[in-house]
C-alpha cells in the first residue's frame, strides 16, 4: 500500500514525523478528547475505590489499556546520555487486602491459606506419601497436575523481615522468617544452629566437624589444594544447613547444596535464607538435575546416602556429574569405623563390609584412593578413560546423552567420558583455573559440541549481558547497592552471561536452563565456574517460598507460549520471590502488556521500560517489585486468607 510507514507501536519517546500525523487542528481535537476521557476515567475510578494512587510513567503507555494500576511507587526520571534511558526508584507497596475476583478489568489473586506458607508444590509431603518409599522415591519431585494448581499468593509468616545482608546472613537469620526450632533440639550437640531471641545463629558446626565448618574446610585444604582456583564448583549431598558450602564461599568455591524435604524441617530453606546456593533434592531413582562433568568436587559428610547399595548406582551418578580429575570426599560412616563403631551403634563387620563395598565401586569407576586421614577419605576420578576403557567396557553405559538430566532414570553403568588421544589428555578439555575460567572459551564450545554457539558468539554474548546488566543498574539504582540482593535467579540463562556480569557483586546466581530449551547449555555454564540446574517452568521449582531476591526472565513467556499458562508461571515467580524482591522480564511489548495485567493482580509494583537500545525496539523490559505483606498474628479457621500489610 502506498503512503508513509507508521511505527509498529507508539511510545512517548518516539520522535514524530509530521507526515505521519493529521493537521494541527485535528490533533488538538484528538488530544482534547483523550484528556477528557482520561479525567472522567480517573474520577470514576477514585470515587469507586475511595483512595488515590501514584501511577508510574510507562514508555509504552499507548499500548496499555485504561486500567488503573494497583500499585504505589516513587518514580525519579533522569536523562541518560547512553540511550535515552530513565532511572526508576521503586518503593515496594503494602497492597490492598484483596479477595478473589476481577477489579477494574484486572484478575486479582487472593492470598493463600496460612498452611501454604512453606508450600513446595513438587515436594508436598501429603502428595509424596502416595509414592513408593523404596529408595526414597516418595521424596523425589511429584508435581500437582493442572487441576491441583493453586491460584493464590503464598503468604509470608507473620513478622517476616528482610534477611540480613551478606556476609552477616551466613551466620544469622530471623526466626520469624523460618519459624522452626526442630534442628535446635535435634542437632543441639552438633552445633548446627542455635536460637538467640528473635534470631537463629549458625555457628558452623556439623555432625563430622565439631570444630566448625571453617576448620573442617581447612583440614580438606591440607589434603587437596583449595586455593589455586583449580577447584571452583562443588556439590554437597545431604547438606544439612549448608555450612560446608557457606564457608567455601570465602575461598571462591561455589557449592551447590541439596537435601530432601524430610523430618528435619527446612534445611534447604535455612541454607537459602543464609544466602547460600541450595535446592531441595534427593538421590533416589532419577539423575540429579545437573549436566555431566559439572563439579570439581563432590562431598558427603554423614549424608546417610547408601553408597554401597543398589549396585553402586549413587556413586555412579556422582561419577557422571564429577569433572575429570575431580574429587569425591567422604567423612562419617564408614570412614574411621574402628574408632567410632560403638558410638554409631553398628558392628565392626557391618561397617567394614560397607567400606569394602564402597572401595569396590570406586575401583569399578576407575577412581583412585587419593588419601584417607582421620575422619576424611578422598577419591579422585581419572582424567580420562584411556587406560580403563577396555577393561571396563562391559560396565559402560550404552550410547546416550550424558547431560540429559530432567526426569532421567538412573542406570547402573558408568557414563563414558569424551574420547582422548593419549592417556595424558583431559577428557572434554582442560579448564582454566578460576577466575580466568569465567571468560575463557568453554571446552564444550571450542570443541563445537554446542549447536549454534561459536567462540565468537560466546564472546559477543558476554559483552551483550555486560551491557544489559549495566543498563538494569542505570534504571533501578537499588541494583547498585552492595548487600541489598544476594540470591539471584536467571530463569533462562543460555550461556550464563547474566550471571557473569554480576561476578564482582556480592551475589550468586542460580542459572536455569529450561528443559524445553532448544540447546542444552548448562554444561557451558558449569565450565565457566557458575552453577545452575534444569527446570521446566510449567512446573514448580524445587525450592521453598521466598528464597530469591531477584528474578530475571528473558523470553520465558515466548518459550512457554501454548505450553502452559502465563499466570501459573507468574504465580510460581511470586511464590519463590522474597517480599520486596525484584523482577526483570524481557519480552515483546505485546506479551509484556499481558504480563503486566497479571503482575497487577499479584499486587506487584511494576513498570514497562524501553529496551537498552532505545524505544524503536519491540522488545521491552518490565521492572517490578513484590509488595510486602504477611499473614496476621493470629488466625482462626474463619479468617485464614486475610493478609496483614
345 and 210 in a common domain: yes
User: Considering the domain boundaries, does residue 13 fall inside one?
Assistant: no
Largest CA distance in the chain: 98
Task: Return the CATH number at 373.
Answer: 3.40.50.150
Confidence of residue 90 (pLDDT cuts 50, 70, 90): low
Q: Give me the count of residues in the chain.
A: 645
Q: Which residue has the cell 578413560?
A: 385
pLDDT at 183 (0 to 100): 63
Residue 416 CB neighbour total at 10 angstroms: 19
| Mean pLDDT across 151-163 | 96
**DSSP conformation letters of 215-271:** HHHHHHHTTS--SSSS--EEEEES-TT-HHHHHHGGGT-EEEEEE-S-SSTTHHHHH
Q: 326 vs 12, which has greater pLDDT? A: 326
Q: 590 vs 182, which has greater pLDDT? A: 590
Q: Which residue has the cell 524481557?
A: 586
540 and 501 in a common domain: yes
Q: 558 vs 387, which has greater pLDDT? A: 558
Task: Please tell me the pTM assigned to this model.
Answer: 0.85
Q: Which of 362, 387, 416 is the last residue of a domain?
A: 416
576 and 541 in a common domain: yes
- CA–CA dist 43, 518 (Å, integer): 49
The residues, ordered by sequence, that sit 6+ positions from 290 with a Cβ below 8 Å of its Cβ are 235, 256, 321, 405, 522, 526, 533, 534
For residue 28 the three cell numbers come to 488538538
pLDDT at 95 exceeding the cut of 80: no
User: Considering the domain boundaries, does residue 392 fall inside one?
Assistant: yes
pLDDT at 217 exceeding the cut of 80: yes
478 and 360 in a common domain: no
User: Considering the domain boundaries, does residue 441 fall inside one?
Assistant: yes
Confidence of residue 339 (pLDDT cuts 50, 70, 90): confident
In which domain, by residue range, is 277 found? 168-416
| Mean pLDDT across 27-48 | 46
- The total number of structural domains that make up the chain: 2
pLDDT at 52 (0 to 100): 26
411 and 478 in a common domain: no
User: Considering the domain boundaries, does residue 275 fall inside one?
Assistant: yes
**Pick from 180-184, 233-237, 402-406, 422-426: least confident:** 180-184
303 and 274 in a common domain: yes
399 and 284 in a common domain: yes
pLDDT at 305 exceeding the cut of 90: yes
| Mean pLDDT across 639-644 | 39
Residues 420, 423, 426, 428, Cα dihedral to 10°: 20
| Mean pLDDT across 463-481 | 97
Q: What is the pLDDT of residues 524-536, one digit of tens each?
A: 999 999 999 999 9
| Mean pLDDT across 27-55 | 43
For residue 433 the three cell numbers come to 583455573
466 and 357 in a common domain: no
User: Considering the domain boundaries, does residue 21 fall inside one?
Assistant: no
pLDDT at 83 (0 to 100): 36
pLDDT at 391 (0 to 100): 59
Confidence of residue 374 (pLDDT cuts 50, 70, 90): very high
For residue 80 the three cell numbers come to 541518560
Q: 265 vs 550, which has greater pLDDT? A: 550
Q: What is the pLDDT of residues 542-566, one digit of tens each?
A: 999 999 999 999 999 999 999 999 9
407 and 273 in a common domain: yes
User: Considering the domain boundaries, does residue 116 fall inside one?
Assistant: no
pLDDT at 16 (0 to 100): 34
User: Considering the domain boundaries, does residue 182 fall inside one?
Assistant: yes
Amino acid at each position: 500500500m502506498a503512503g508513509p510507514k507508521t511505527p509498529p507501536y507508539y511510545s512517548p519517546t518516539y520522535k514524530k514525523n509530521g507526515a505521519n500525523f493529521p493537521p494541527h487542528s485535528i490533533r488538538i481535537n484528538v488530544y482534547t478528547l483523550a484528556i477528557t476521557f482520561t479525567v472522567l476515567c480517573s474520577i470514576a475510578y477514585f470515587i469507586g475505590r475511595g483512595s488515590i494512587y501514584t501511577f508510574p510513567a510507562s514508555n509504552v503507555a499507548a499500548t496499555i489499556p485504561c486500567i488503573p494500576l494497583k500499585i504505589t511507587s516513587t518514580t525519579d526520571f533522569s536523562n541518560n546520555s547512553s540511550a535515552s534511558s530513565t532511572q526508576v526508584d521503586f518503593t515496594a507497596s503494602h497492597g490492598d487486602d484483596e479477595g478473589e475476583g476481577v477489579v477494574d478489568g484486572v484478575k486479582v489473586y487472593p492470598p493463600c491459606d496460612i498452611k501454604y506458607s512453606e508450600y513446595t508444590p513438587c515436594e508436598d509431603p501429603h502428595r509424596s506419601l502416595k509414592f513408593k518409599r523404596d529408595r526414597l522415591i516418595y521424596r523425589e519431585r511429584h508435581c500437582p497436575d493442572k487441576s491441583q494448581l493453586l491460584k493464590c499468593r503464598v503468604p509470608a509468616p507473620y513478622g517476616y523481615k528482610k534477611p540480613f545482608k551478606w556476609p552477616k546472613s551466613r551466620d544469622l537469620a530471623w526466626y520469624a522468617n523460618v519459624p522452626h526450632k526442630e534442628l535446635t533440639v535435634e542437632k543441639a550437640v552438633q552445633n548446627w544452629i542455635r536460637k538467640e531471641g528473635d534470631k537463629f545463629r549458625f555457628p558452623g558446626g556439623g555432625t563430622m566437624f565439631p570444630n566448625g565448618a571453617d576448620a573442617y574446610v581447612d583440614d580438606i585444604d591440607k589434603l587437596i589444594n583449595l586455593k589455586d582456583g583449580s577447584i571452583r564448583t562443588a556439590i554437597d549431598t545431604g547438606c544439612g544447613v549448608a555450612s560446608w558450602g557457606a564457608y567455601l564461599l570465602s575461598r571462591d568455591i561455589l557449592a551447590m547444596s541439596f537435601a530432601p524435604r524430610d523430618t528435619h524441617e527446612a534445611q534447604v530453606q535455612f541454607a537459602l535464607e543464609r544466602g547460600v546456593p541450595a535446592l531441595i533434592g534427593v538421590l533416589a531413582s532419577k539423575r540429579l538435575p545437573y549436566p555431566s562433568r559439572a563439579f570439581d568436587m563432590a562431598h558427603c559428610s554423614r549424608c546417610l546416602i547408601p553408597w554401597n547399595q543398589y549396585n553402586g548406582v549413587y556413586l555412579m551418578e556422582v561419577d557422571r556429574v564429577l569433572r575429570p580429575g575431580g574429587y569425591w570426599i567422604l567423612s562419617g560412616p564408614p570412614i574411621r569405623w574402628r574408632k567410632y563403631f560403638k558410638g554409631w551403634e553398628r558392628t565392626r563387620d557391618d561397617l567394614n563390609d560397607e567400606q569394602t563395598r564402597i572401595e569396590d565401586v570406586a575401583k569399578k569407576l576407575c577412581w583412585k584412593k587419593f588419601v584417607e586421614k582421620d575422619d576424611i577419605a578422598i577419591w579422585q576420578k581419572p582424567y580420562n578413560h584411556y587406560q580403563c576403557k577396555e577393561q571396563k567396557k562391559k560396565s559402560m553405559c550404552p550410547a546416550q546423552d550424558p547431560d540429559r538430566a530432567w526426569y532421567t532414570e538412573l542406570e547402573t553403568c558408568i557414563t563414558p567420558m569424551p574420547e582422548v588421544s593419549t592417556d595424558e589428555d583431559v577428557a572434554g578439555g582442560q579448564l582454566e583455573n578460576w577466575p580466568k575460567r569465567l571468560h575463557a572459551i568453554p571446552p564444550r564450545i571450542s570443541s563445537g559440541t554446542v549447536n549454534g554457539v561459536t567462540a565468537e558468539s560466546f564472546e559477543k554474548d558476554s559483552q551483550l549481558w555486560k551491557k544489559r546488566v549495566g543498563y538494569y543498574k542505570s534504571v533501578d539504582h537499588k541494583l547498585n547497592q552492595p548487600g541489598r540482593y544476594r540470591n539471584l535467579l536467571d530463569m533462562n540463562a543460555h550461556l550464563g552471561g547474566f550471571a557473569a556480569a554480576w561476578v564482582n557483586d556480592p551475589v550468586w546466581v542460580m542459572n536455569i536452563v529450561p528443559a524445553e530449551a532448544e540447546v542444552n547449555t548448562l554444561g557451558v555454564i558449569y565450565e565457566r565456574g557458575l552453577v545452575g540446574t534444569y527446570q521446566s517452568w510449567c512446573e514448580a521449582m524445587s525450592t521453598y517460598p521466598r528464597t530469591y531476591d531477584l528474578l530475571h526472565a528473558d523470553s520465558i513467556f515466548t518459550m512457554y507460549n501454548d505450553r502452559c499458562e502465563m499466570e501459573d508461571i507468574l504465580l510460581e515467580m511470586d511464590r519463590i520471590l522474597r517480599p520486596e524482591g525484584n523482577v526483570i522480564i524481557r519480552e515483546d511489548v505485546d506479551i509484556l502488556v499481558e504480563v503486566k495485567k497479571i503482575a497487577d493482580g499479584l499486587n506487584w509494583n511494576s513498570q514497562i521500560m524501553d529496551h537498552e537500545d532505545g524505544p524503536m525496539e519491540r522488545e521491552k523490559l518490565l521492572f517490578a517489585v513484590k509488595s510486602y505483606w504477611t499473614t496476621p498474628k493470629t488466625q482462626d479457621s474463619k479468617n485464614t486468607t486475610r493478609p496483614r500489610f
